Structure 1
Amino acid sequence: MNHTIFFVSSLLVAFQVICSGTNHNITKDYENQIKRRRFQDLPPFKAPVIGPCVKHPENCNLSPILKAEIVSYRPAVETIVREVLDGESKGRAYKELGKFVDLFGARVSGSKALEDSIDYMLDQMKQNGLQNVHGEEVVVPHYVRGEERAELLTPRRKHLTLLGLDPSVGTPAQGIEADVLVVTSFEDLKAKAKQAKGKIIVFNQDWQGSYKTTAIYRIRGAIEAATVGGIATLIRSITDFSLNTPHTGGMTYEALIPEIPAACITVEDAELLYRLQESGEKLRISFKMSIYKLPATTSRNVFGEITGNEKPNELVGLSGHIDSWDVGQGALDDAGGTQISVEALYLLKRLGLTTHRTLQAILWTSEEAAAVGVGVADYVKRHDKELANFSAVFESDSGTFNATGLDFAGSEEAG
């Protein structure tokens, strides 16, 4: 409990969020004199909570003034923690998350379900007393998954479960039938480049220890396969655990390199194909995939605020993306992120806690449709001159699990 309180207190003081109403014994003249950023003495990113202090491996050097200010926030933080763990707010975010995904399911870019979910969240923000609630229109791509099937033809017939990647091209209408080359890495592919021309390239890469490091095979698989003459690629799903379940996700192409169809197959099928090849069998697969790119349509980024009472023009953003992939309900990616973003503001409203700066909940649209989310990119372009008003922007989009710290990215000026 004490660890949680100190960690939350550090975040509050870092961004001047909560007005505790207590005397910090810090004069504004002194603050102006040293002109310190509130967050400059905090530990760097991903600081784990250890013992009575927020520790960083190199040290946790906090000035006495900053320590005193952090301690002064204890009553407000204790109130927040008690309300979340034992009060009426206990389990509320989880319950609302369940209701949201049950009501709307998959919320793929361009879909009616996405727009219905946006209408719902706008209404919820208003009902929970947020200010300046509005949507901001964004032109987004409209993706619809078509027919997808693959079958191992030799040395025996077997259905291969797969999911196409976005923005992969489809196969010709009649599909593709070709011999197969299974490789275990990009280096393995390069070593076997002379065997690759005209074949379907199957990547059976090992789990690389994390999603981010393994996903490079999904992201660049089509590029690397096409570079050596592959006509399509099937990639082992990016997961360390599988129950014959394929995973979808994003991928990329590069200029001047042929765009070939790309899909993910299950871990089990990738390993089967590898074992068959290693035993000397010749592999042949038929593969058909149709993807429909419909005309672009209009969606919305969603905003709701608690207006700051001292620095209303300075913003702290809490955000997640409201869209999802089309083959699941997107509970973790990223309905969980959107719910905790709005619930944080609802909680402060219910407790009557005021803020120095304006807190803004932001629900980005069409994040999954591009390497940089469409909604985010549109906002940055449209509000370029206003970005300096943000003291910080948080996004929860790495899974809604136990909170262990914060990733920080920014310029030298920012931190």
Structure 2
Amino acid sequence: MKKILFLLFLCPLILKAQNHSENIQKIFNYELTEGHTYENLRYLCKEIGNRISGSPQAAAAVEYTKQLMESYGFDTVYLQPVMVPHWVRGGKEQAKVLNSSKLGAVDLNVLALGNSRGTGPNGLVGEVVEVYGIEGLRKLEDQVKGKIVFFNQPMDPTLINTFQAYGGANGQRGSGAAEAAKFGAIAVLVRSLTNRVDDFPHTGNQRYNPDYPEIPALAISTKDAELLSSLLKGQKDLKVYLQNNSMMKEEVLSYNVIGEIKGSEKPEEIIAVGGHLDSWDVGEGAHDDGAGCMQAIEVLRIYKEMGWKPKRTLRAVMWMNEENGLRGGQEYAKVAKAKAEKHIAAIESDAGGFIPLGFSSTGTEAQRSKLASWRDLFTPYNIWKFDVPGGGADIGPLRDQGPILIGLHPDSQRYFNYHHTAADVFEVVDQRELELGAAAMTALVYLIEQEGM
């Protein structure tokens, strides 16, 4: 009798798992044969281009994604206002070694870091002091007064997790100028954050300390960082000329773009899936983060095309201003809290359109265990990593409201070849890898809207 009761209990579970497996296969098959993700990304990159917050291109991207979601017949598509910073690069930057005893005058490949102030039209000249990270700067203190600080800490090539390597070196970019200004430095050059030695400087956000001067901050390509370091080893009085015209302007009204399919059984429970619509002002923002935005829209499009009615409400969210302010993610969480909305999960794709390996997550033990319990449903698609901590920058502000935060976790070995550079263009995104990521996100959303969290 006990055996019969056990079988009666087990049969519905087996049937449910089989049904889930079949529907996930349908998702993958559909996306890999009839997906729109790649073509939508092409339009965003080639017809609109890079999309820094406050720019005309960012405004165009808002309108494009709004119209795109409306064309797919989502239940609701709307704009969520948010004030964003408006930083402009102000023309081409220059950097030149002036007095090398070996090479004479040498041009260096540089890009102003995000939110950097300019040198003025005449530029500035200073001797260069090389340091490795913020700790290296603090060891020198007053020795950098009146000089250009050159932060030359590389990403650790021995770390297989390239995001971990990025995090280990990112402090010098994010707060290098603020820290150097405390000791009287007149500008900073920061080694680009990539494991490759190449000619592409990588921009990225940096933050000033309001108690100290806002000095110019520029990234230097890894190839020229190696050159500058070698020249400094034989010549301590090496001088560099810097010139950039970047500036911060008045804040601008922009928008998060939100598309929604209302849940049929528990509409009050929300699953948000998205990426950030803004990008840096070089390249086309293809991997960072046009890919994530188009994958998120595809999740809801697949539901519409399949004729599926989700039990819980699905939202595709295009967050604005992740790169140099995070205003969109903060505003989204603020509005959700004010409306007492109940997010059970928030999923972000912001690690590139590469082949998916799994999902990172931040949440309670019960939430993360439930996510991990679905692992076997993904292994047929070579998606197997479910134990990685993480989530995403734009969904982070939602954490205190209780949802599990989930990040699509693709193979990241090539990501920092393109991250924040002019090389981040549509042509470096592989269609199949991008579509596999969209299918993986849709499959996970399917399980969450069916089973809850």
In 2, Cα distance between equivalents of 1:244 and 1:114: 27
Per the alignment, in what secondary structure is the counterpart of residue 376 of structure 1? helix
1:276 counterpart residue number: 231
In 1, Cα distance between equivalents of 2:13 and 2:169: 40
2:97 counterpart residue number: 152
1:200 counterpart residue number: 148
Per the alignment, in what secondary structure is the counterpart of residue 360 of structure 1? strand
Amino acid aligned to 1:124: L
In 2, Cα distance between equivalents of 1:194 and 1:66: 68
Shift in alpha-carbon separation, 1:64–1:299, aligned structure 2, 3 A: farther
2:311 counterpart residue number: 356
Output the TM-score relative to the length of structure 1: 0.79
Shift in alpha-carbon separation, 1:260–1:64, aligned structure 2, 3 A: farther
Per the alignment, in what secondary structure is the counterpart of residue 77 of structure 2? strand
2:391 counterpart residue number: none
Amino acid aligned to 2:226: E
Matching of residue 109 in structure 1 with residue 53 in structure 2? yes
Per the alignment, in what secondary structure is the counterpart of residue 290 of structure 2? helix
1:75 counterpart residue number: 22
In 2, Cα distance between equivalents of 1:194 and 1:270: 23
**Which among 106, 125, 128 is matched to residue 69 of structure 2?**
125
Shift in alpha-carbon separation, 1:64–1:257, aligned structure 2, 3 A: farther
In 2, Cα distance between equivalents of 1:231 and 1:292: 16
- Residue 409 of structure 1 deviates from its aligned partner by 2.3
- Deviations along 1:37-72, one digit per CA (max 9) or x if unpaired, are xxxxxxxxxxxxxxxxxxxxxxxxxx9987764444
Per the alignment, in what secondary structure is the counterpart of residue 353 of structure 2? coil
The 5 A counterparts of 1:210-225 are 210-225=165-180
1:163 counterpart residue number: 111
Shift in alpha-carbon separation, 1:185–1:299, aligned structure 2, 3 A: closer
**Which among 354, 367, 375 is matched to residue 322 of structure 2?**
367
Shift in alpha-carbon separation, 1:194–1:136, aligned structure 2, 3 A: closer
Percent of aligned positions that are identical: 35
Matching of residue 304 in structure 1 with residue 259 in structure 2? yes
In 1, Cα distance between equivalents of 2:167 and 2:39: 30
1:4 counterpart residue number: none
Output the TM-score relative to the length of structure 2: 0.72
Shift in alpha-carbon separation, 1:276–1:64, aligned structure 2, 3 A: farther
In 2, Cα distance between equivalents of 1:288 and 1:355: 55
In 2, Cα distance between equivalents of 1:153 and 1:64: 78
In 2, Cα distance between equivalents of 1:140 and 1:280: 44
In 1, Cα distance between equivalents of 2:145 and 2:13: 63
- Residue 400 of structure 1 deviates from its aligned partner by 1.7
In 2, Cα distance between equivalents of 1:223 and 1:124: 41
Per the alignment, in what secondary structure is the counterpart of residue 406 of structure 1? strand
- Deviations along 1:243-262, one digit per CA (max 9) or x if unpaired, are 31111100112243332211
Asked if the contact 1:203/1:270 (under 8 Å) is kept, the reply is: no
Q: Could you say which structure has the larger radius of gyration?
A: 1
- Deviations along 1:352-372, one digit per CA (max 9) or x if unpaired, are 1221101110111122121xx
Asked if the contact 1:139/1:298 (under 8 Å) is kept, the reply is: yes
Q: Which piece of structure 1 moves more, 303-312 or 180-189?
A: 180-189
In 1, Cα distance between equivalents of 2:237 and 2:62: 51
- Residue 379 of structure 1 deviates from its aligned partner by 2.0
- Residue 293 of structure 1 deviates from its aligned partner by 2.3
Asked if the contact 2:191/2:225 (under 8 Å) is kept, the reply is: yes
In 1, Cα distance between equivalents of 2:154 and 2:34: 46
In 2, Cα distance between equivalents of 1:146 and 1:340: 32
Q: Which piece of structure 1 moves more, 119-128 or 383-392?
A: 383-392
Per the alignment, in what secondary structure is the counterpart of residue 253 of structure 1? coil
Asked if the contact 1:232/1:260 (under 8 Å) is kept, the reply is: yes
2:43 counterpart residue number: 99
**Which among 87, 92, 96 is matched to residue 143 of structure 1?**
87
* Unaligned ranges ≥5, structure 1: 1-24, 27-62
Per the alignment, in what secondary structure is the counterpart of residue 122 of structure 2? coil
Asked if the contact 2:130/2:151 (under 8 Å) is kept, the reply is: yes
**Count of residue correspondences:** 351
* Unaligned ranges ≥5, structure 2: 1-7, 160-164, 366-401, 405-453
**Which among 167, 170, 174 is matched to residue 122 of structure 2?**
174
Matching of residue 257 in structure 1 with residue 204 in structure 2? no
Question: Stretches of 4+ moved more than 6 A in 1?
Answer: 63-68
Amino acid aligned to 2:123: G
In 2, Cα distance between equivalents of 1:65 and 1:202: 64
- Residue 375 of structure 1 deviates from its aligned partner by 1.2
In 2, Cα distance between equivalents of 1:102 and 1:166: 23
Amino acid aligned to 1:181: V
Asked if the contact 1:200/1:234 (under 8 Å) is kept, the reply is: yes
1:328 counterpart residue number: 283
Asked if the contact 1:197/1:230 (under 8 Å) is kept, the reply is: yes
In 2, Cα distance between equivalents of 1:150 and 1:292: 18
Shift in alpha-carbon separation, 1:374–1:414, aligned structure 2, 3 A: closer
Amino acid aligned to 1:100: L
- Deviations along 1:247-303, one digit per CA (max 9) or x if unpaired, are 110011224333221110111111111111112452101112212322222211111
Asked if the contact 2:129/2:149 (under 8 Å) is kept, the reply is: yes
2:431 counterpart residue number: none
1:38 counterpart residue number: none
**Which among 317, 334, 348 is matched to residue 395 of structure 1?**
348
- Residue 383 of structure 1 deviates from its aligned partner by 3.0
Asked if the contact 1:108/1:114 (under 8 Å) is kept, the reply is: yes
RMSD: 2.3
In 1, Cα distance between equivalents of 2:247 and 2:188: 19
In 1, Cα distance between equivalents of 2:75 and 2:128: 58
In 2, Cα distance between equivalents of 1:262 and 1:363: 29
Asked if the contact 1:182/1:273 (under 8 Å) is kept, the reply is: no
Amino acid aligned to 1:403: P
